[in-house]
Structure 1
């Protein structure tokens, strides 16, 4: 049974199955995940609600399930999710919606739990630590929220701005430059649970709420608002969300490529946007998910500018720059709608 059929099978059954004797199987403290919360954040809050450190909680309550030396936000099993939902007396869908797998059918077709997936920032796991700046947060949200938690969208490479606070996200500690790894607060200080602060750096204890956030301009903010609406399944530029994200990904690939065949398109985009042209570095270490927040934002803004007034502007840039259609068709994930635009409107299909 796959994840979605499991979801359909389990949905709405928890309250129906709950009998008086089942209360002995419930956790002492119920912690309902916040609507847009990340799985690992929910587990952390659940453990601390029981006055246990996350590693101790997982050892006792989850029967030594391996959690923190893997990407639990995308690798958590359906059985473990169901176990957590039934013991918290919540629906399975509430638990499932904390996972990155819930983006299937919108951001990507299938989440690859054993490797990289487009739009998911890789953690760079080394034992229980992380080597990449893959989890982001908004200092302003931490200041305003009564409950500190990490949002699911903060694991996505297309998230660079908080649409609510209109400020830039951060992906590392500004003091010691270490990645954000909130569960490592529970390492050391054996009897100190209350002092653990999810809004601070696990390495130097700097409180992210003390950061003066970087404001962003209206255009960048609006683009992030559009992306977040698409994540909820809405349509934009006359494109449905799954098709939009596939086309956006292809345009980003070309704008971030060091191929000589991509240069004409890149130069024309920079020219029409009145930006000084800078050749992309390309290569494995410069793929979109590995880039810093500023570079990702730049690529997202350029790509969404290209997609505005779809497909007229895209066609105009291609034909003005005489970019060959083959550079677009050479993608195994090309949507049918995009392929049709290329074949019917791009003047040069081969090199």
Structure 2
């Protein structure tokens, strides 16, 4: 790999600056257009800015930016989303789905999704406007400093952010409206407190949960993600939110459920903010408040663990003692009565009809279905 000579303009990354933002500031300082800058130094195919470089973090670009600006390679890497590995998630998946990383929907030079969030007040306050790395992750829905919900699109034309196509980093690429002019919504104090906790967990690598501590932050965020799943979609969602809403802290109910094809990463900052308001209440009183709400909503172990391939111990410890409901098994008498009813009201007794009346196949087999098949002529439909 060829070494890159020092750039004519060598800015260090600003606090929590995103790689793409740092690159765009460097190009502007050298009076170069973003595509000219990346082509001059990397000549990559496809061009660097037609990819999500913050997520993919190409080694040649990270190394080149470190060499060109004269900063340590480790510091350059921390401008990428991969720098969250070990604190927000276990390992970074640069190609497929990555939990908590908000997609920007790269298609050639365009950005078709709204994964680049921003705080209008931060951009207005910045002496040198730039994009923060935290604005690309779904745990961020508010600005703790300014106590407002983040924005994710142009306040005038509604287009997504594509700073590499803008005349200035803090302006809309299409209509050149100033992003700092976006109208902000005041954030819920509980969500501000929750996000401050998230930021500490990412920084320290561990998190406070109820009266205890989760010693590896990615396990904590797995638990948070499952709580978001329970409050965002599923047939028990409404009952769960109603159970949470009985308490004075949960005063704002989130809107409609997340579409199955999407996920928390595809919600607007405002929608995520409202979902986090529910999750905040569950986490403050963990695990008692969660167990209480789940029991009221009929969320037992099978649903509480739904779709979880990797279950954090702190979540298991809450679910397994208190949300285990002994499975119901029909008695021999109930099975006989059900078959007798079907035999009287149907020409034939079909197995699927029997299952609908008294339980699933496993329950029936455990009760010695063969005996009843021989006795009552149950037909396997």
| Shared fold, TM over 0.5 | yes
Q: Distance in 2 between matches of 1:139 and 1:58?
A: 28
SS in 2 for 1:28: coil
Structure-2 change in CA distance of 1:127 and 1:108 (3 Å): same
Specify the SS of the correspondent of 1:90.
coil
Q: Conserved in 2, the CA contact under 8 Å of 1:268 and 1:317?
A: yes
- The answer as to 2:305 corresponding to 1:329 is yes
Match of 2:190 in 1: 219
Contact 2:162–2:172, Cα closer than 8 Å, also in 1: yes
2:14 matched to 1:34?
Answer: yes
Q: 20, 36, 40: which one pairs with 1:56?
A: 36
2:207 equivalent in structure 1 = 235
User: Could you give the per-residue CA deviations for residues 212-258 of structure 1, whole angstroms, max 9, x where no partner exists?
Assistant: 53332422322222222222125222233222211010011111113
Moved more, 32-41 or 236-245: 236-245
Task: State whether structure 2 residue 202 is matched by structure 1 residue 247.
Answer: no
Native 8 Å contact 2:236 2:298 kept in 1: no
Q: Following superposition of structure 1 onto structure 2, how do residues 160-309 of structure 1 map, counting pairs within 5 Å?
A: 160-185=141-166, 196-233=167-204, 234-237=206-209, 238-240=212-214, 241-258=217-234, 260-273=235-248, 275=251, 280-309=256-285
More deviation, 305-314/208-217 = 208-217
d(CA) in 1 for partners of 2:126 and 2:81? 23
CA apart distance, 1:334: 1.5
Report if the CA contact (8 A) 1:264-1:323 is conserved. no
- Other structure's SS at 2:190 match: helix
Which of structures 1 and 2 has the bigger CA Rg? 2
- 1:135 Cα deviation after fit: 0.5
CA shift, 1:276, in A, is: 7.8
- Which of 126, 151, 157 does residue 107 from structure 2 map onto? 126
Measure the CA separation in 1 of the matches of 2:104 and 2:42. 23
| Counterpart secondary structure, 1:283 | coil
Greater shift, 117-126 or 261-270, is seen at: 261-270
Q: CA deviation at 1:323?
A: 1.8
| Contact 1:325 1:349 survives alignment (8 Å) | no
Counterpart of 1:17?
none
Partners of 1:343 and 1:349 within 8 A in 2? no
Contact 2:255-2:271 at 8 Å conserved across structures:
no
TM-score under structure 2 normalisation?
Answer: 0.77
Deviations 1:181-211 (A, max 9, x none): 11112xxxxxxxxxx3211111111112334
Q: Which runs of 5+ in 2 are unaligned?
A: 329-381
**Alignment of 1:69 onto 2:45:** no
Between 123-132 and 26-35, report the one with greater CA deviation: 26-35
CA distance, structure 1, for counterparts of residue 309 and residue 280 of structure 2? 21
Normalised by the length of structure 1, the TM-score is: 0.84
Q: Which has the higher contact order (CA 8 A, sep 6+)?
A: 1
Specify whether residues 212 and 174 from structure 1 end up closer, same or farther in structure 2 by C-alpha distance, changes over 3 A only: closer
Q: Does 1:340 align with 2:312?
A: no
Q: How far apart are the structure 2 equivalents of 1:105 and 1:345?
A: 30
What is the CA distance between 1:286 and its match in structure 2? 4.4
SS in 2 for 1:68: helix
Q: Which of 300, 314, 323 is equivalent to 2:290? A: 314
Q: Is the 8 A contact 1:262 1:327 kept in 2?
A: no
Cα drift, residue 349 of structure 1: 6.4
The number of residue pairs the alignment matches comes to: 318
Structure 1, gaps ≥5 residues long: 1-21, 186-195
- CA apart distance, 1:85: 0.8
Q: Deviations over 1:130-171 (max 9, x none)?
A: 111111111111121111110000111121111111122110
Q: In structure 2, the residue corresponding to 1:83 is in which secondary structure?
A: helix
With over 3 angstroms needed to count, the CA separation of the structure-2 counterparts of 1:251 and 1:242, relative to structure 1, is same
Determine if contact 2:171/2:179 at 8 Å carries over to the other structure. Answer: yes
Bigger drift between 270-279 and 80-89 goes to 270-279
